[in-house]
Amino acid sequence: MMNLSLKNNMVVMLIFSAVVLTAPLWLDPIGANYPDLLQKFAIFGIFAIGYNILFGLTGYLSFGHATFLGVGSYTAVWSFKLFTMNVVPAIIFAIIIAGVFALAIGYISLRRSGIYFSILTLAFAQMSYSLAYSVLTPITNGETGLQLTIQDPRYLDAMAGVAVKEGLPSTNLFGQLMSGYSGFYFCAVMLIIGFYISLKIFRSPYGLKLIAIKSNQNRMNYTGFNTRPYLLSAFVISGMYAGLAGALMAVTDPLAGAERMQWTASGEVVLMTILGGVGTLVGPLLGVGIIKYFENIFSALNESALHEVFNFLPQALENTVVAVTHHFVGEGWHLTLGALFMLVVIFLPGGVMEGVTNLIEFIKKKLGMSGDESGDTL
Between 28 and 361, CB nearer to other proteins: 28
In whole angstroms, how close is the CB of 331 to other proteins at the nearest point?
5
What span, in angstroms and rounded, lies between the C-alpha atoms of 5 and 8? 6
Piece in contact with other proteins (CB under 8 A), picked from 209-217, 250-258, 350-358, 370-378: 250-258
CA-wise closest residue to 357 among 292, 289, 282, 270: 282
Taking the complex as a whole, the smallest distance from the CB of residue 35 to other proteins amounts, in Å, to 6
Q: Which is nearer to other proteins, 170 or 374 (CB)?
A: 170
Cβ proximity to other proteins, 40 vs 326, nearer residue: 40
Query: What are the backbone angles phi and psi of residue 81, rounded to the nearest 5°?
Result: -75, -45
Interface with other proteins, residue 372, by CB under 8 A: no
Alpha-carbon distance of 217 to 209, in angstroms, equals 10
Q: Is the distance from CB of 4 to CB of 148 less than 8 angstroms?
A: no
Separation of alpha carbons 171 and 178, rounded Å: 6
Please report, as residue ranges, which positions from 103 to 122 form the binding site for other proteins (by CB under 8 A).
none
Give the Cβ contact number of residue 66 at 10 Å.
26
Decide if residue 253 touches other proteins (CB under 8 A).
yes
- Cα(251)–Cα(271) distance, integer angstroms: 25
Q: Is 59 in the site for other proteins (CB under 8 A)?
A: no
Of the candidate residues 17, 126, 299, 325, the single one contacting other proteins (CB under 8 A):
299
> Quick one: which of 179, 182, 217, 336 contacts other proteins (CB under 8 A)?
179
Q: How far is the CB of 207 from other proteins (least distance, A)?
A: 33
Q: Which stretch binds other proteins (CB under 8 A): 7-15, 80-88, 105-113, 255-263?
A: 255-263
Residue among 376, 343, 372, 371 nearest 359 (CA): 371
DSSP conformational letter for 86: B
161 binds other proteins (CB under 8 A): no
CB of 243 to other proteins, least distance (A): 17
Checking 369-375 for CB contacts under 8 A at 24+ apart, the result is 373/5, 373/7
Stretch that binds other proteins, among 155-163, 270-278, 299-307, 362-370 (CB under 8 A): 299-307
DSSP H helical segments within the chain, as ranges? 9-21, 23-26, 35-52, 66-82, 87-109, 114-130, 137-140, 155-159, 180-202, 205-215, 217-222, 228-252, 263-276, 283-296, 303-309, 315-325, 333-347, 352-366
Residue 167 binding other proteins, by CB under 8 A: yes
* 318 touches other proteins by CB under 8 A: no
Range in contact with other proteins (rule: CB under 8 A) among 53-61, 101-109, 252-260, 320-328: 252-260
Binding other proteins (rule: CB under 8 A), the pick from 170, 176, 221, 374 is 170
* Residue count, binding to other proteins (CB under 8 A): 36
Nearest approach, Cβ of residue 324 and other proteins (Å): 20
Residue type, 291: I
Residues 257-276 that bind other proteins (CB under 8 A): 257, 259-260
Gyration radius of the chain over CA positions: 22
117 vs 129, beta carbon nearer other proteins: 129
For residue 125, the Cα-to-chain-centroid distance in whole angstroms is: 17
Q: How far apart are CA 234 and CA 240, in angstroms?
A: 10
x/- track of binding to other proteins for residues 133-152 (CB under 8 A): xx-------xxxx-x--x--
Contact 23, 289 (CB under 8 A): no
The answer to whether the beta carbons of residues 284 and 51 sit under 8 Å apart is yes
Name the minimum Å distance from CB 27 to other proteins.
11
Please list every residue from 11 through 50 that binds other proteins, using CB under 8 A: 28-31, 33-37, 40
Site residues for other proteins per CB under 8 A: 28-31, 33-37, 40, 133-134, 142-145, 147, 150, 165-168, 170, 179-180, 253, 255, 257, 259-260, 296, 299-300, 302, 330-331
